[in-house]
Structure 1
Amino acid sequence: MKKVMITVDYNPNAEKVVRKGYEMAQLMGAELCLFHVLADVRYYGVQYEPFMGYEGYAFPVDYNIQNEFVKVAQDYLEKTKKHLNGENITTHLVEGDTAKKILEYSEEWGADLIVMGTHSHGALEKIFLGTVASSVLERTKIPVYMVPINQ
Structure 2
Amino acid sequence: MKKVLIAVDYNPVSEQVVKAGYKLAQTMGSQVCLIHVVSDISFYGIQYPTFMGYEGYNEITTDLSMAAEMRKVAEDFLKTAADHLNNPSVSTHLADGETAREILNYSKKWKADLLVMGTHSHSVLEKLLMGTVASKVLEKTEIPVFMVPVKK
The TM-score range, normalised by the shorter chain, is 0.7 to 0.9
Query: Deviation at 1:65?
Result: 1.9
Bigger radius of gyration among the two: 2
Cα RMSD over matched residues? Answer: 1.5
| TM-score scaled by length of structure 2 | 0.82
Q: Distance in 1 between matches of 2:64 and 2:14?
A: 24
1:139 corresponding residue in structure 2: 140
Q: Tell me the TM-score normalised to structure 1 length.
A: 0.83
Shift of 1:88: 2.3
Q: Structure 1 residue 87: deviation in Å?
A: 4.2
Per the alignment, do residues 131 and 79 of structure 1 end up closer, same or farther by CA in structure 2, a change over 3 Å counting? same
Q: Secondary structure at the match of 2:142?
A: coil
How big is the shift at 1:63? 8.3
2:105 counterpart residue number: 104
Q: Alpha carbons of 1:15 and 1:40: their partners in 2 closer, same or farther (altered >3 Å)?
A: farther
Structure 1 segments unaligned to the other structure (5+ residues):
42-61
Change (3 A) 1:5 1:119: same
3-state SS in 2 of match to 1:127: helix
Q: Which amino acid aligns with 1:12?
A: P
- 2:84 is matched with 83
Structure 1 equivalent of residue 56 of structure 2? none
- Classify the secondary structure of the residue corresponding to 1:85: coil
The percentage of counterpart residues that share the same residue type is: 56
Residue 3 of structure 1 corresponds to: 3
Q: Secondary structure at the match of 2:112?
A: coil
User: Which amino acid is 1:8 matched to?
Assistant: V
Per-residue CA deviations over 1:53-109 (Å, capped at 9, x if unaligned) read xxxxxxxxx885211111111111111111100142100001100000011000110
Does the 8 Å CA contact 2:40/2:98 hold for their aligned counterparts? no
Alignment of 1:46-85 (within 5 A): 65-85=66-86
